[in-house]
Chains A and B, each alone.
Chain A
Amino acid sequence: MSWFRKKVYPPFWKSYKECFRGKQNSEFKNIRFIVFDTETTGLDIKKDRILSIGTIAVIDKTIKVSDNLECYLTQDLFNTETVKIHGILKQGTIHKVTEQEGIIQFLEHIKNAVLVAHHAAFDVAMINQALKRLNLPKLKNKVLDTGHLFVKSKLDTSKKHFSLDQLSHRFNIPQHDRHTASGDAFITAILFVKLLCILKKKNTVISIAYLQRSNERIGL
């Protein structure tokens, strides 16, 4: 009976899983955050596919340009409607990898970092969907959402859903390379650092648990 049999996972997943063994780094200052963004063919998690992933690391409120990943995935599914948003052509000159290769690179890169994204639930779901297609379990990382962190800052209580555009405008973050995965990841990283500063002012000690805590899932 196959559901009793222990699943056998490929080596990259094993080494990814290894990262979560043992005591996790708990000192906030030393935590490696990976701010990331995915560009997709659309917003339907089941149907749509990831076109590109961009990440950048933040450690101790410092954005590490050297610690980044930028990869583009080959597509079978192609949505001409979203091309005008992300600008990635089906063919084009950019070097592309398969979805599996992209996921491998992503897992190798993020390791046990705390993931950060704007409306993170969507990006995480897209990655999880890709993992599922590879017969793999869901991401194991802790996840923070900059949209949620902004609501937590209580700077604006008018609504609970703020777009990256609205927030980057509000926080004076130049919108270069908006709608590329790397560009959005970078904007999100700056937003994340700014929000950390604001939240730190309100709370002398901030922890991942505090940043994660939320009653509602937003962003999906």
Chain B
Amino acid sequence: MNTIAKRISDFLKDFPPFNMLPKDELLAICKAVDILYLEKDTDLFITGTPIKNQFYVVKDGAIGLFEEETNTLVDECDEGDIFGLRALMRKDSYKLTAKALEESIVYSLSAELFENYITTNSEASAFLMTSFVSNTRYSEPKPQNQSTEKTQDFFEEQSIDFSKNPINCSPETSIKAAAIIMTHKRVGSIIITENNKPLGIITDKDLRIKIATGIISTEEPVTKIMSSPVITYPENITVAEAQIAMLKYKITHLCITKDGTPNSDLAGVLSEHDIIVVRENNAYALVKEVKRTSTPEQLQQVRKRAEHLLKRYIKQQIPIAFATKILSAINESITQKIIDQAIKEMPTPPPTNFAWLAIGSQGREEQLLLTDQDNAFVFNNVDENEYEKTQEYFLTLSKKINQKLEIVGFELCPADMMASNPAWCLSVSQWEQQFKKWITTPDKDNLMLCTIFFDFEFVYGDKSLVSSLAESIFESIESRDIFLTYLGLNALKNPPPLSFFRQFLVERDGEHKDQFDIKARAMMPLVDAARLLILSKNIKTHNNTIVRYEKLAELEPQNKEVFLACLEAFKNLLYFRTQQGLLHNDSGRFIDLQTLSKANRLELKSCFKAVKEVQDLIQTRFKLSQFL
């Protein structure tokens, strides 16, 4: 009997990696636990001291890990968090200092038992590895090519569509005749067959290397220049197999035969191009389908299929930046199609040039799930006496577009941030005045409008109207430095909940009581910070938050780490929100914290760290301490 060890295992069993161990193994570990009590501000270990043969789990309280030199808080560990393990694995001295941020009780676990039970358990050690990567910024950078690898994984098991009617000719055919067939059929290769069995192949490359150079006459038979024997595969070849074969033989075409050997009937030809098509097939097919549809109802079907595609992307852990690009492209082409249809329904063509703008998250191309519409309309400047009539026309058009988009599944914006609202359907000069007004009187409402409308993205119409709008924003900002200060304060209004999981910072009342608002508390601060910083650099071409941070990292190498952390955090949050939204069939905005796994919590926590860092940077840069 060891009631105390049992009690400790009862606590640890709820936290990874301990929850991955069999009961008896966990109990064996717990029997050897030392329990430390740390008063606030006492050190558990100090940078540079040799490691103890122990690692630690926080039972109560919070332990801060500090970088000694700068005394910066690198990580905050609370209930269930593990620390001191990295030094142990590295087997040298502590790189950080562990200090109790508040009165804490810490379990000290033996390194030997850890090695016996945890590192031998593949699931548990995999967890530790990933948590090391995600939990602190003190991690080795992820390999750059990871994202492309993941994208490919998804398709690799898929069997490939190849051309089922390969162009072929007999061995007696002249090179010239074969070239004529290839040109006529618009193909890059021709198979030479005998009794329907593949003998050899000629590709565009052969014609270039062997014929165009004048080495061989075009009157010679094809056998003179064909590559032979051909590389053959059966019909169920997968993308991966095809890629490997092409790499292995350094060729760009494979022959598909009935039984996969050169001695059976030719069934098709598979070119490098087919692989490229397959890779982009799904999204590509959807965009193509958008072009063929004629009604909003049909577009609704396409949008639903896009949702399925998104689900699969999330399930397959396709990088979120990729998924966002695809989904935004689909949304954009749907909107363009809708606008085309709406214009056709108008009794007269548009009286002047115009542009349709996506604003807010749509403008930033960060919208994965179906949410409500956010859009605006801008038209060319017209004579004063024409203005009312022109606006009238575009309002009617906008209303049609908004209604059709609603049919597709984009609900009408409850705050009426839509092009059919006369306030958001203006001429270029009216818009310029509007922006100027917001910038010169940045009260709370105007700041909010800035955060929505400054992230506009051209979707349809005359793009030149949009660039002059962007320019006018910068002109106004330049003449009013103080505006960035206000925008900075706005960006800091939601400080990150660093001690989040002990004092659940959740919504206090309303429909979402006791839930965490991931949008307002984690994503918007990152979005706001990126917008402010990129505006302060006079850059308008970058709307997307991920792209903005990429650009900022490039522009400010000294702050690269902070921006890359923000970028990662934003990707994670977007991914997470999308996942939650698909799971609960909603916007994914409100999260019930009780349902989160420890791994998710760790990830969320590292996101907050990034928010904190970029907010600190903004506070210093825009000298905001005096206002806070």
Contact = CB atoms under 8 A, between A and B. Distances in A.
Interface of A: 54, 56, 61-66, 68, 70, 72, 94-95, 172, 176-177, 180, 182-183, 186, 189-190, 193-194, 197
Contacts of B5: 65
Contact of A70 (B1, B34, B105): B1
Contacts of B33: 65-66
B4 A68 contact: yes
A62 B3 CA distance: 18
A62 B7 contact: no
B3 A63 contact: no
Interface stretch (B35-43, B522-530, B535-543, B584-592): B35-43
> Which 9 residue pairs are nearest across A and B when measured between Cβ atoms?
A63-B35, A182-B3, A193-B37, A65-B33, A70-B1, A66-B32, A62-B34, A186-B4, A197-B39
Contacts of A63: 34-37
A183 B33 CA distance: 16
B8 interface: yes
Interface string B1-22: 1111101100000000000000
Contacts of A61: 36-37
Nearest to A200: B39
B409 to A, nearest CB: 50
Given A63-B37, A65-B8, A186-B4, 8 more contacts: A61-B37, A62-B35, A64-B34, A65-B35, A176-B7, A183-B7, A190-B37, A194-B37
Contact of A180 (B3, B30, B37): B3
Nearest to A58: B35
A186 B7 contact: yes
Nearest to A177: B3
Contacts of A64: 34
A94 B37 contact: no
Contacts of B37: 61, 63, 190, 193-194, 197
A95 B1 contact: yes
Contacts of B86: none
B554 to A, nearest CB: 49
B36 A66 contact: no
Interface in B345-393: none
B333 interface: no
Nearest to A63: B35
A65 B1 contact: no
A176 B30 CA distance: 16
B560 interface: no
Interface string B85-115: 0000000000000000001010010000000
Contacts of B8: 65
Which of B1, B5, B30, B32 is packed against the most chain A CB atoms within 10 Å? B1
A193 B33 CA distance: 16
A180 B389 CA distance: 86
Contacts of B108: 62
B34 A94 contact: no
Contacts of B4: 56, 65, 68, 177, 182-183, 186
Given A64-B34, A65-B34, A94 B3 contact: no
A64 B110 CA distance: 12
A190 B59 CA distance: 13
A174 to B, nearest CB: 8
Contacts of A62: 34-36, 108
Contacts of A56: 4
25 contacts: A56-B4, A61-B36, A62-B36, A63-B34, A63-B35, A64-B34, A65-B2, A65-B5, A65-B8, A65-B35, A66-B32, A66-B33, A70-B2, A70-B3, A72-B1, A172-B60, A172-B103, A177-B4, A177-B7, A182-B2, A182-B4, A186-B7, A190-B37, A190-B105, A194-B37
B197 interface: no
B31 interface: yes
A37 to B, nearest CB: 11
A190 B104 CA distance: 11
A148 B207 CA distance: 100
Nearest to B1: A70
B193 to A, nearest CB: 78
Nearest to A194: B37
B8 to A, nearest CB: 7
Nearest to A57: B34
Contact of B3 (A66, A183, A189, A194): A183
A39 B414 CA distance: 66
A66 B7 contact: no
Contacts of B30: 65
Contact of B2 (A68, A190, A193, A194): A68
A28 B8 CA distance: 27
A66 B31 contact: yes
Which of B4, B5, B30, B108 is packed against the most chain A CB atoms within 10 Å? B4
Contacts of A54: 3
A116 to B, nearest CB: 14
B14 to A, nearest CB: 14
Nearest to B36: A62
A167 to B, nearest CB: 15
Nearest to A191: B37
A176 B37 CA distance: 17
A202 to B, nearest CB: 13
A65 B35 CA distance: 7
Nearest to B10: A176
Nearest to B34: A62
Nearest to B105: A190
Contacts of B103: 172
Nearest to A197: B39
Given A190-B105, A197-B37, A94 B1 contact: yes
Contacts of B1: 70, 72, 94-95, 182
A190 B32 CA distance: 17
Contacts of A197: 37, 39
A105 to B, nearest CB: 12
A89 B124 CA distance: 40
